[in-house]
A and B are shown apart, each in its own frame.
Chain A
Amino acid sequence: MDNLYRDFILEHYREPHNKGVLEPHDLHFADSNPTCGDEMSMTLQLDDAKQRVVDVAFDGRGCAISQASASILTDELRGMSLDELRAMDPGDVVENLGVPIGPARLKCALLSYKVLQGAVIGAEARWPDEADVLAGGSAP
């Protein structure tokens, strides 16, 4: 557990980066974690060509894992192209958290990824296959 709730996770939870709603925005999506009902939304501003992320924010309440995951993920997005966002590997999102995520908390760690995919792909974006993510994700 000391591995899971490391100080930087708790710091992201208490003071998340990129929290709020961007107005105006080009992309918006909201979704919830089906196991707990926690809702998260994300808003993105794009460049003039509507190809790259200029700014991003997430909103909603949730557990330390989902909030830290969203905080860390959104830090990475500025400057990325929409194609890069669509190609993002959910295993990398879990790995970037830097703490071991087991099956019980995987949805918490992936909610931000799911919401981001909804924003760039649309409502047809699906939750990634959990077995694949757990098999591929070699979190430290």
Chain B
Amino acid sequence: MAVEQLRRDVFDGSALRADFPVFDRPHRSGLPLAFLDSAASAPKPRSVIEAVADAYGHHYANVHRGIYELSEDATARFEGARRAVARFIGAPSDREIVFVRNATEAINLVAFSWGRTNVGAGDLILSTQMEHHANLVPWQQLATETGARLEYVAITDDGRLDLDDLRARLAQRPKLLAVGHVSNALGTINPIEEVSRLAHDAGALVVLDAAQSVPHMPVDVTRLGVDFLALSGHKMLGPSGIGALWGRRELLEAMPPFMTGGSMISKVTLEGTTWAEVPLKFEAGTPAIAEAAGLHAAIDYLEGIGMDAVRAHERFLFEQARDALAALPGVRLLGPESADEHAAVLSFVIDGVHPHDVATVFDHHGVAVRAGHHCAQPVMARYDLPATTRASLYVYNDLDDVERLVSAIRATQTLFGTA
């Protein structure tokens, strides 16, 4: 099928680069920047940068306290951002959105607040071999502190969750399953609807690390059937320093605070304190006010494209890149082959060249990729790899970037004499 036909529902990513000032920055290679590291953190469109500046410039006061117009304005905009996040992920209520710094903090909030209340000695917690450290280390800590057991669902040779292993472990009736939606190290898209159903049938809650999915595909918490969801703003074109935890209201209501102090109280006396309503109960101290405005603008930008179109675009680019890499000798792509199960995250190895060297050579060709263990060392251990090179694609990428990736691989192999 001709490329142009394949593209029928897909937009021109290269045209979007004009919205992102970072692409105006000269690269020392003298070449245009081929940015293939969005899974780590994404560049910001002008509208997000301007929204942050506008929040500081024209709408800034502390939120939820001031009895004056400017604070009311700031509060209304902050709460507007919360509603935007709720709508974006299909949350039944914006009261279920807790602003945090990032997905890591969201998961830690659940581990500290829900975990230390509901998990005890001898209880079982399930995570998976596929997780980012953010969805693994907090559970190790919880297990260490409570005496709970922690087990990991296995992954298959082609980078899928092993659902038979999941069923077997769920039969032990764990309290909780912590799982990622999209693996940042493999690109795998996990079948969360099915996973949630299996977990709930076994009486376990599901904590979903959606840091790699919310930016790239339609996500609906009700359809997925999870109980908690963690996201980061900075991976979805928004500012760093803001993310969100979504949780089912009845769970959030029953949980104790994570951090305590100002803003999160109902009444404080020297003898004791009662907590504010959800979600403010979990938002101690002055929050990331301008960053919330930036996150709102990022959601507007993505919704302007349409998340179905974002997914179709990335799916198309993944298939092109996957096929291009398959045609190169000495290059091996990790993760499932089918684009149905593989996001636009290409984690690969080049025979005879260490990923750090790959990334350095790529950089000199103006191609930015991630090399390393991707904060998922157990994944690397599973495949007996020290590290991989990872190219991840987003809205501003297009076929020219795929070509740059292929050229950079060829150049690397030539330099190291492995081609």
User: A: which residues have CB within 8 A of B?
Assistant: 1, 4-5, 10, 35-39, 61-66, 104-105, 108
Contacts and interface: CB of A to CB of B under 8 A. Distances in A.
A98 B362 CA distance: 21
Contacts of A65: 356-357
A37 B361 contact: no
Given A36-B386, A61-B386, A105-B356, A1 B380 contact: no
Nearest to A5: B415
Nearest to B411: A1
A38 B372 CA distance: 9
Contact of B357 (A35, A39, A61, A64): A64
Interface in B350-366: 353-357, 360-361, 363-364
B386 A38 contact: yes
Contacts of A35: 372
B417 interface: yes
B360 A36 contact: no
Given A10-B416, A61-B386, A63-B354, A5 B361 contact: yes
9 contacts: A5-B360, A36-B372, A37-B377, A37-B380, A37-B386, A38-B386, A39-B386, A63-B356, A65-B357
A36 B363 CA distance: 17
Contacts of B386: 36-39, 61-62
Nearest to A60: B386
Given A5-B415, A36-B386, A38-B387, A63 B373 contact: no
Interface string B153-195: 0000000000000000000000000000000000000000000
Contacts of A38: 354, 386-387
Contacts of A37: 372-373, 377, 380, 386-387
B371 interface: yes
Nearest to A1: B364
Contacts of A10: 415-417
Nearest to B380: A37
A35 B386 CA distance: 11
B240 to A, nearest CB: 20
Contacts of A64: 353-354, 357, 416
B298 to A, nearest CB: 28
A25 B371 CA distance: 34
Interface in B366-419: 371-373, 377, 380, 386-387, 415-417
